[in-house]
A and B are shown apart, each in its own frame.
Chain A
Amino acid sequence: MHDRSDKPRLAVWKFASCDGCQLSLLDCEPELLALGEAIEIAYFPEAATRPIRGHYDLSLVEGSISTPRDAERIRAVRRRSAHLVTLGACATAGGIQALRNFADLREFMAAVYAHPAYIHTLATSSAIADHVPVDFELRGCPVNKRQLLEVISAFLAARRPAIPAHSVCLECKSRGLPCVLVAHARACLGPVTQAGCGAICPACHRGCYGCFGPQETPNTASLTRALAALGLERRELLRLYRSFNANAEAFRAESERHGE
């Protein structure tokens, strides 16, 4: 076993997010002990209270950039980090809070806050990669625990993580799940969405919600034509593409084709 000081130093950072992806790390339970042996968890406010200053070998970043302060803070994180991996839809595409990108922020603030003048926020919620270079983006809302361990294990072994960028359909078919779109006429984003969740929703007879964002070469226009043929209307199509990954380029462009 490594001496404590020899172990790679891990930091987990939170920006605008719900903490769900950090919880996926805590949810690793049995593997957490092995993780603690392999790596020094040097900064993790969700799990510990004493921040350790200095430099980190691997930074896991959760959340999007939505305030001027965070836009500065992520640059500081990048400077402290040899490797920076983003976790989840917020950090990778701006998250559900990127719905603000399609609306008038002042209207939102006036509706929610008694004194909006005290709110210091950006007009958009954006991905970490829009602000600093990112070494790897792990998708999902939240990320998949097995994929998260794969990324950390790959980092420790200095190898490429085995995280495919193909569609959810390959996961459905590998599990032998009947296609909910073809057999049940349910709206499903699986064909344009990146795999990684293990096809959770189709396994529960639901269409895919696109939590892992666009697959490597998404043909949203063709899928939209098929969904429209099933009877989906403009507004339903807009909502389908505009959720956790609303600001991911392919979903953003497709949703705007069905905008008001």
Chain B
Amino acid sequence: MSLPPHSAQLLTSEGLDQLLRALRRGGYRAVGPTVREGVIAYEDIDCVEDLPRGWTDEQSGGHYRLRRRDDDALFGYAVGPHSWKQFLHPPRQRLWRTRGGGDAVQIEREPPDGPPLALIGVRACELKAVAIQDTVLLGGAYGDPHYRARRADTFILAVNCTVAGGTCFCVSMDCGPNVATGFDLALTELAAAGPPAFVLQSATPAGRKVLEEISHRPATESEIAAARARVQHSAQHMGRQMPAQNLPQLLLRNLEHPRWSEVADRCLACGNCTMVCPTCFCTSVEDSSDLRGQQTSRTRRWDSCFTIDFTYLHGGSVRQSTRARYRQWLTHKLATWHQQFGSSGCVGCGRCITWCPVGIDITEEVSAIRASDPG
């Protein structure tokens, strides 16, 4: 993993503001963290003033609260309820429409989206999640053209985590807290009583190009050392730990473990974990027709392995019980994902723990199985 290199630059809060404006001038739609309705959400942002200045969050199982910090940090919090899949792999995607009837049916392709995206404040776990969705949605012979078009033009401003959240465990999953690859520019926020300042590294020509339009100076050795120390500090303060060794073997030899029934007793089968998970990608396809039978459309929408319809085949649903559905989710995420896509499907962001209304904790469930593993 790369911490800020010796060639890093120093960016002030004004410099960051210039950067956001330069991206917008360059035709990007900038989306990033902002405070909305008591959470840090990812929404359209214009300038540095839209960022959650002086905010942090308190997170545990089924619990999220915004808290004030005693400084003006712009990135002093962990990830919130949103993830970038909302923009890259949106909840609803119309695939095509038809008009007319009989022999006069015309198929209309869906036009491309609006302007290219600039994702602001992408964390290490999230970069890993985007890379995983790239593999899922673009790998193989039948890549998703809508996703491909969005990803091709996406600019990523990453942020190294200097604060670990209460449900974070990226270190266990080897996914953070410092960014490694897959970004154009990356920031590390320095501790300061005054205005925020950042050590900045660039990784791509697109990143270096936008730097030409904004003011910055080479970072000093002590600034770079301070930035590294802050990221290392967050690595040592993860809210959760996942016992991640040999997970596929552990889980697949415990498919009849009594813990699955125990967790099913608590699980609401509401699907929240899959909705907030930055790697969960499952969708269903819906066809609709109008009253006159002259227009139809096919739409892909987020779905979840926790719904009954999701595994509906001839004669009924494959996974009727909540036990079967929870087990499917967890074993896919942590075990069979390796076979299917060559990595774990979990990046340790902790969203599924925080946003589960009853606080089911994936690290706790795995620990319980490991603790009584006969294998």
Q: Do A and B bind each other?
A: yes
List the interface of chain A (C-beta within 8 A of B): 31, 34-35, 37-39, 149-150, 152-154, 156-157, 159, 162, 164-167, 169-170, 173-179, 181-184, 188, 190-192, 205, 215-217, 219, 222-223, 225-226
- B241-274 interface (Cβ within 8 A of A): 265-272
CB contact under 8 A between A164 and B86, given known A153-B289, A157-B293: no
A selection of 12 A-B contacts at a CB cut-off of 8 Å is A37-B291, A38-B293, A166-B308, A169-B357, A170-B303, A178-B37, A179-B357, A190-B270, A191-B268, A215-B269, A216-B309, A223-B358
B residues neighboring A (CB under 8 Å): 36-39, 41, 62-65, 81-82, 86, 91-92, 265-272, 275-276, 286-293, 301-304, 306-309, 322, 354-355, 357-359
Contact B290 A34 (CB under 8 A): yes
- Give the total number of A-B pairs whose CB atoms are below 8 A apart: 136
Complex Cα gap A172–B86 (Å): 13
* Cβ–Cβ contact A167 & B81, under 8 A: no
CB-CB under 8 A for A166 and B304, given A173-B276, A191-B272: yes
**A174 surroundings in chain B (CB, below 8 A):** 91-92, 275, 301-302
User: Shortest beta-carbon distance, B269 to chain A, in Å?
Assistant: 5
User: How far does the alpha carbon of A205 sit from the alpha carbon of B39 in the complex, in Å?
Assistant: 12
B67 to chain A: closest CB distance in Å?
Answer: 12
Please give the distance in Å from B286's CB to the nearest CB on chain A. Answer: 4
Residues of B within 8 A of A157 (CB): 289, 293
Residues of chain A within 8 A of B288, CB atoms compared? 150, 153, 162
Known: A34-B292, A157-B293, A166-B309. A223 touches B357 (CB 8 A): yes
Q: What is the minimal beta-carbon distance from A157 to any residue of chain B, in angstroms?
A: 5
Q: A31, A182, A205, A219: which contacts B322 (Cβ < 8 A)?
A: A219
Q: How far is the CA of A169 from the CA of B303 in the complex (A)?
A: 11
Query: Do A182 and B62 have beta carbons less than 8 Å apart?
Result: yes
A173 CB contacts on chain B under 8 angstroms: 81, 91, 271-272, 275-276, 302
Q: Do B92 and A178 have beta carbons less than 8 Å apart?
A: no
Whether the pair A38, B291 counts as a contact (CB closer than 8 A) is yes
CB neighbours (8 Å) of A170 from chain B are 270-271, 275, 302-304, 307
Residues of A within 8 Å of B289, CB to CB, are 153-154, 156-157, 159
Report Cα–Cα, A223/B358, bound state, in Å: 7
CB-defined contacts of B269 to chain A, threshold 8 Å: 167, 215, 217, 219
Q: Which residues of B contact A191 (CB under 8 A)?
A: 268, 270, 272, 357
User: Given the complex, which residues of A lie within 8 Å of B92, measured CB to CB?
Assistant: 174
Interface centre among A152, A156, A166, A188, by most B CB within 10 Å? A166
Closest 4 CB pairs of A and B: A173-B275, A174-B91, A191-B270, A178-B39
Contact B267 A219 (CB under 8 A): yes
Of A183, A219, A223, the contact of B64 (CB 8 Å cutoff)? A183
Compute how far the CA of A38 lies from the CA of B91 in the bound complex, rounded to whole angstroms. Answer: 31
B81 touches A178 (CB 8 A): yes
CA distance A162 to B287 in the complex (A): 8
Question: Inside 8 A of A182's CB, which chain B residues have their CB?
Answer: 62-64, 81, 354-355, 357
